[in-house]
Amino acid sequence: MCAAVKAFKMKLKLFRSQLSKGEMCHFPTCAQRIPQHKHAALGARYAKHTNLLIEEFDRRLTLSKEEDVQLKLIQDPFSEEVPLDLQLEVIELQCLAVYRNKHRESSLRDVYRSLDNEKYKNLIEVALKTFSIFGSTYICEQTFSIMNTNKNKQRSSLTDNHLEDIMKISTSNMSPEYDKLVAKKR
């Protein structure tokens, strides 16, 4: 997921650079519909909008140096850059050909599941924290989907308080006990 975000940011930077020069090679519809003599002027305008998007990505999705090193380490525990507190465990792991082969042939989760919990305690802890980030993105996407379904043009009078109540009900695992509630009302 991080690689996809980095690739997207790099593409945005490429688009900004090309648009500022009036090049429309990655925008064939624009190249067809906009006359050639207007490419430079409109490209510069689009480049400004692209730059705003890049700045917003940088503001929201920038990793610190530490976080970036940890992600790279979890992705490839046989890399050279290792946080100080994990160096001994990583050296131990790097010297075992079994794990090197497992890393090539298996998923990352399988590699970390196969590690000895006592021997690689800190490395496993960092891996679990990292993996939990990606598991929670599904929950966020699901919640935004529910919110977008409930707050639309047809329901424009929905207040934030109402939306909050709907979100609590929609995302809760609890199911109402109708029989109990009806019995209390009697």
Predicted confidence (pLDDT) per residue in 2-50, tens digit: 677 778 889 999 999 998 998 888 888 888 888 888 888 888 889 999 9
Tokens of 86: 């994990």
- Global pTM exceeds 0.75: no
For residue 92, what pLDDT is reported?
A: 87
User: Per residue in 49-77, pLDDT tens?
Assistant: 999 988 888 887 766 677 777 778 778 88
Residue 106's CB is within 10 A of a number of other CB atoms, namely: 14
**What distance, in Å, lies between the first and last C-alpha atoms of the chain?**
54
**If you search the block for the tokens 């919990």, which residue do you land on?**
117
Tokens of 75: 């992705």
Q: Report how far residue 169's alpha carbon sits from residue 175's, in angstroms, rounded to the nearest whole number.
A: 9
Mean pLDDT of the chain: 81
Which amino acid is residue 182, in one-letter code? V
For residue 138, what pLDDT is reported?
A: 65
User: Per residue in 87-105, pLDDT tens?
Assistant: 888 888 888 888 878 888 8
- The larger pLDDT score, comparing residue 143 to residue 139, is at 143
Specify whether the CB–CB gap between 73 and 81 falls below 8 A.
Answer: yes
